[in-house]
Amino acid sequence: MTDAPVQEARPAGRVLPVTDLSLVVLIGASGSGKSTFARRHFRPTEVISSDFCRGLVSDDENDQSATKDAFDVLHYIAGKRLAAGRRTVVDATNVQQEARGQLVRLAREHDVLPVAIVLDVPESVCAERNAARADRADMPRRVVQRHTRELKRSLRHLEREGFRKVHVLRGVEEVENATLVTEKRFNDLTHLAGPFDIVGDIHGCSIELESLLAKLGYTDGVHPEGRTAVFVGDLVDRGPDSPGVLRRVMSMVESGNALCVPGNHENKFGRYLRGRQVQHTHGLAETVAQMEGESEEFKERVGRFIDGLVSHYVLDEGRLVVCHAGLPEKYHGRTSGRVRSHALYGETTGETDEFGLPVRYPWAEDYRGRAAVVYGHTPVPTATWLNNTICLDTGVVFGGKLTALRYPERELVEVPAERVWYEPVKPLVNEAPGGHQGRPLDLDDVRGRRIVETRHAGRISVREENAAAALEVISRFAVDPRLLPYLPPTMAPTATSGADGYLEHPAEAFAQYAAAGVGRVVCEEKHMGSRAVALVCRDAAAARERFGVDGPTGSLYTRTGRPFFDDGQVTEEVLGRLRSAIDGAGLWAELDTDWLLLDGELLPWSLKAAGLLRNQYAAVGAASGAVFPGALAALEAAGARGVDVSGLLARQRERAADAGAFTDAYRRYCWSTEGLEGVRFAPFQLLAGRGRSLAGVPHDEQLAWLDRLVEADGSGLLRRTGRLLVDTADPASVAAGVDWWLDLTGRGGEGMVVKPLGATVRDAEGRLVQPGVKCRGREYLRIIYGPEYTRPDNLERLRQRHLGHKRSLALREYALGLEALDRLAEGEPLWRVHEAVFAVLSLESEPVDPRL
């Protein structure tokens, strides 16, 4: 083990095994050498001494009046370490039963083994050592005497106090010469990476077991590719051939081809075999009868096998946990009676249902662990993932099926029951109706300051106030989180242009990518409408199956997650049109998916921004339109009278022209719609489909898909995105790009977005490159910077804009968006997807110049 301390060569002494995750309690009188012993055998951070804690709270390691506070601190630190799964050594005299009792309780609270190491050193030695220490020189002899007395009294009942290992070292020499070895816990098989085939509850159904093993590729219990079978328990009872199942499983385990954890039925059967009084209910009678014909030797072998089963296993570097009844994360790899009982029986609420069966606590709904938990115990019609846990008990003995999970492939392999072997007490139902993600998310998954781990940009933090704003918007306005698997990131504009009359110009965009080493970029026409994300499922069944919603076939939402249309029928109408286009383009089959997530722009702008248009844009147009005719006439009249108003009049004429240009600018993005008549959707990226994030697909491939969609659209909903490929190293190509933009914006277009052709691209230093920069048209920018922004003195001042924060924000949001898509594609639990989506929205509320 890596945490074994460096051992010096010393004469052979006793070898003391100490479990890697345990609470080690040193017991010995003052002066018995505990601190020295601890230093020699443990890492400094593993050891907490009462003297040190006394010092922490009172500035004096020997201040006995501080003892109570010191132990509070000691227990607190020890608790934190144990909760984090770190072995902890308590260096205190611990000669009193009460003090040890507290530590045993602490160990149990954290489900780790308490281990006692007693340093039984003669009183005279202790006294001598204390006398030699300046800080203990005046310690009365009677203190050590009392310690020694109490120690002797304690020795007899340490096991009874709850210590699972007790090592007593007698005399100075034994203490000096002892060696410690770190033992792994039985449940720690993290070094085994599989691949595994995890098999659900069998209940004596040997025919189905043999069929399943054959289907999985095993021949006589051995897999040609060296896969390992893992049985989740409940091998016996109810079914027709429990001995046959035991025989098969035991031989596979003994030959190293399988692992097995015990189920509650093995546990009870084991007690029966040991001669305990047990009720022959719940199918035990069948097993007992079937065992009649078996030899005593076989019965003994079964007894030994069951006794030796370990309640749960942690596998594959901690990424996989297998147990019978499911296990919350805090119990993974822990060792206590509580953990065993949890692993075997699960947690119940104390209630019973209408069938008289205990109501199980839905622990999987609360599960947020990173390890996949595979278990059985509760029969369900179909095995489905919930928060990275899956129950494989598909009730084969009740006429359901026997299910195995291939890991790490995460594929389910099933064989149907040959017949109903045992009548179920209640019908098989899924624990979570309304789909595997049927319940609301928990606030703790989004609230407060958070750090989100992303694959593309590492850890991204979200401030509390930003999360608070996102919570308000998501809670009050957004669509159901199940239908909100992504939010689009913000995008930075191109660097500010110095060109006469321009604030933004493509030259900077091309230069920026050239500098980042990106040769090929695509210029995509920017549609001026409202950003819209569409989740389209092939049908309602696909939406139910994948997203757990009953009714809607997808969603259509804005960049803050609000539904685009208040009326769900209208949304369905849009989704229906998109669906036909996807049908027509043959993309379901090509991308092997029954749902697609699209990013695009919904037009016209006036559809969603009506309030803003009325109160701001059109209002300014109206105010300026009303004022200038009168103002200009007045100045002209004054001029005609000979008053010198030439400068003033010229300026007002320019301002009137600017105001007119502004009105023209916003008008281009407005038109009347009637229902969906006049509504357009311009998709510019397919984001994800089943099992795959498409965000990294190069844009030329993307656009080819999208062109096919537009072509297949018979409804007139879809709009093509104009594009031009540019080579940033080729001046002619760059000039063509500039001309293309001038032409586009000259015809009233909003502008364009320049993207690296390769979509997700890194620069020479390995940093993510901006996934796109926008380059907005000169006229369009009047809507952003005001009607008169093009006047030279205004432009000069407006050029003082700072892009740094916006760029950083764009990259962080981009990484979070990619993360959401990856998590979605990999079938991660909803809370994990939502975490990333929520973070995008939170970052959107960071302070940044809104005009960028």
Partner 1 sequence: MFLTITATGTPGSPATDLGFLLHKHPDKAQPFSTSYGTAHVVYPEATEERCTAALLLEVDPVALVRRGRGKGRGGAPDSALAQYVNDRPYAASSLLAVALSTVFSTAMKGQCAARPELPGRALPLRVEIPSLPARGGPELVTGLFEPLGWTAVVRPVPLDVTFPEWGDSRYVSLVLESDRLTVAEALRHLYVLLPVLDGAKHYWVSPDEVDKLLRAGEGWLSDHPQQRLITNRYLARRWSLTRQAEERLETERQELLRLAQADDTEVEEIDNAVPAEAEPEAGADTGPDSDAAAMEVGATEAAAEEAAAGERPVPLARQRREAILAALRERRAARVLDLGCGEGHLVRELLKDTRYDEVVGVDVSVRALAIASRRLRLERMGERQASRVRLLQGSLVYTDSRLKGYDAAVLSEVIEHLDLPRLPALEYSVFGSARPRTVVVTTPNVEYNVRWESLPAGHVRHGDHRFEWSREEFRAWADSVAARFGYDVEYRPVGPDDPEVGPPTQLALFTLCADTGSERHAGPARARSGHATREEASA
| Contact between 64 and partner 1 per CB under 8 A | no
Contacts of partner 1 in 586-605 (CB under 8 A): 605
Contact in structure between 653 and 632 (CB atoms under 8 Å): yes
Cα–Cα distance between 57 and 69 in angstroms, integer? 7
Question: What SS3 state is found at 704?
Answer: helix
Least gap, CB of 708 to partner 1 (angstroms): 30
Least gap, CB of 503 to partner 1 (angstroms): 11
Contact residue for partner 1 among 175, 235, 246, 470 (CB under 8 A): 470
How many residues of this chain bind partner 1 (CB under 8 A)? 112
Contact in structure between 469 and 478 (CB atoms under 8 Å): no
How many beta carbons lie within 10 A of that of residue 445, not counting itself? 16
Cα–Cα distance between 763 and 604 in angstroms, integer? 37
Strand 228-231: give its sheet, edge to edge: 258-260, 228-231, 196-199, 401-407, 411-416
Which structure tokens are listed for 276? 């305990």
Contact residue for partner 1 among 7, 179, 461, 475 (CB under 8 A): 475
What one-character DSSP code corresponds to residue 759? S
* Residue ranges in 139-282 assigned as alpha helix (H): 141-155, 158-161, 171-177, 206-216, 242-254, 264-273
Least gap, CB of 377 to partner 1 (angstroms): 16
Which structure tokens are listed for 114? 């308490």
Question: Which secondary-structure segment (H or E) carries 657?
Answer: helix 646-667
Contacts of partner 1 in 776-805 (CB under 8 A): 783-789, 794, 797-798
Residues 316-355, one symbol each (x = binds partner 1 by CB under 8 A, - = not), give ---------------------------------xxxxxx-
Stretch touching partner 1 by CB under 8 A, among 35-43, 98-106, 500-508, 841-849? 841-849
Contacts of partner 1 in 479-498 (CB under 8 A): 479-480, 490
Least gap, CB of 696 to partner 1 (angstroms): 25
Least gap, CB of 797 to partner 1 (angstroms): 5
Q: Minimal CA–CA distance to 128: which of 29, 47, 51?
A: 29
Least gap, CB of 422 to partner 1 (angstroms): 23
Q: Residue 19 or residue 663: which is nearer to partner 1 going by CB?
A: 663
Least gap, CB of 778 to partner 1 (angstroms): 15
Contact residue for partner 1 among 362, 576, 678, 827 (CB under 8 A): 362
Contacts of partner 1 in 671-710 (CB under 8 A): 672
| Contact between 468 and partner 1 per CB under 8 A | yes
The three state secondary structure string of 714-780 is CCCCECCCCEEEEECCCHHHHHHHHHHHHHHHHCCCCEEEEEECCCCCECCCCCECCCCEEEECCCC
Least gap, CB of 803 to partner 1 (angstroms): 15
Q: Residue 158 or residue 833: which is nearer to partner 1 going by CB?
A: 833
Least gap, CB of 456 to partner 1 (angstroms): 22
Task: Report CA torsion sign: 405, 408, 410, 414.
Answer: negative
| Contact between 627 and partner 1 per CB under 8 A | yes
| Contact between 428 and partner 1 per CB under 8 A | no
Which structure tokens are listed for 824? 């979605």
Measure CA 426 to chain center.
Answer: 35
Contact in structure between 231 and 249 (CB atoms under 8 Å): yes
Q: Residue 44 or residue 611: which is nearer to partner 1 going by CB?
A: 611
Contact residue for partner 1 among 505, 520, 608, 812 (CB under 8 A): 608
Least gap, CB of 390 to partner 1 (angstroms): 17
What one-character DSSP code corresponds to residue 614? I
How many beta carbons lie within 10 A of that of residue 6, not counting itself? 6
Least gap, CB of 572 to partner 1 (angstroms): 13
Contacts of partner 1 in 563-582 (CB under 8 A): 563, 568
Contacts of partner 1 in 369-398 (CB under 8 A): none
Stretch touching partner 1 by CB under 8 A, among 18-26, 239-247, 426-434, 593-601? 426-434
Contact in structure between 482 and 547 (CB atoms under 8 Å): yes
Contact residue for partner 1 among 125, 155, 222, 620 (CB under 8 A): 620
Q: Minimal CA–CA distance to 442: which of 558, 362, 544, 378?
A: 362
Cα–Cα distance between 24 and 273 in angstroms, integer? 35
Contacts of partner 1 in 633-672 (CB under 8 A): 633-638, 641-645, 648, 651-652, 655, 659, 662-663, 667, 670, 672
Question: Which secondary-structure segment (H or E) carries 556?
Answer: strand 554-557
Phi/psi for 86 (5° steps) reads -115, 135
Contact residue for partner 1 among 181, 285, 359, 704 (CB under 8 A): 359
Contacts of partner 1 in 23-42 (CB under 8 A): none
Least gap, CB of 420 to partner 1 (angstroms): 23
Cα–Cα distance between 803 and 851 in angstroms, integer? 11
Least gap, CB of 468 to partner 1 (angstroms): 5
Contact in structure between 489 and 483 (CB atoms under 8 Å): no
Contacts of partner 1 in 542-561 (CB under 8 A): 552, 558-560
Contacts of partner 1 in 435-454 (CB under 8 A): 439-447
| Contact between 474 and partner 1 per CB under 8 A | yes
Contact residue for partner 1 among 164, 319, 544, 562 (CB under 8 A): 562
Q: Residue 440 or residue 714: which is nearer to partner 1 going by CB?
A: 440
Torsion of CA 577, 580, 585, 591, to 10 degrees: 100
Contacts of partner 1 in 511-530 (CB under 8 A): 530
Least gap, CB of 461 to partner 1 (angstroms): 15
